[in-house]
Amino acid sequence: MYEIEIIAGFSAAHLLREYKGKCEHLHGHNYKVYVTVQVESLGPGGMVMDFGDLKRITAGVLEPLDHAFLNEIAPFDTIEPSAENLASYLFQQIASKLPDQGGTLNSVSVCESDTARATFRLKGE
């Protein structure tokens, strides 16, 4: 199995409606997003896919979230904008934009800080 990973980022504010503690108040993060794509055998040029293509796809998904109040953006206007829900949302959005021959999206991790990460991955991986 071959795997590539890119790291992207965005800055946004949010609050957690169903959480009791300091994160229930408006606050922000400089999120880091790790996106991992895998294939069983390499494609043309000996690559999983072009890093530039994966960066472009990811940047397009992150752009509407950058410098935004996440609680006002669907689906986070109805679900909690937690790191876990962000990872799942970003996974679905990025997976839907990958080219058919570009490999399988394996996981998306969202870091709220250097020491806190949530990951959504394909079942069984």
Q: Write down the domain spans for the chain.
A: 2-121
Longest dimension (CA), the chain: 51
- Please provide the CATH number assigned to the domain covering 2-121: 3.30.479.10
- Catalytic choice (14, 29, 80, 112): 112
Element housing 59 (H / E): helix 51-62
- Residue 18: active-site member: no
- Catalytic choice (67, 72, 84, 125): 67
- Residue 23: active-site member: yes
- Residue 112: active-site member: yes
Compute the distance between CA of residue 92 and CA of residue 99 in angstroms, rounded to an integer: 14
Chain segment 13-50, per-residue pLDDT in tens: 999 998 888 878 899 999 999 999 999 999 878 999 99
Strand locations in 15-103, DSSP E? 27-39, 68-69
Query: Residue 98: what pLDDT?
Result: 92
Confidence of residue 125 (pLDDT cuts 50, 70, 90): low
Phi, psi (degrees; rounded to nearest 5) at 56: -65, -45
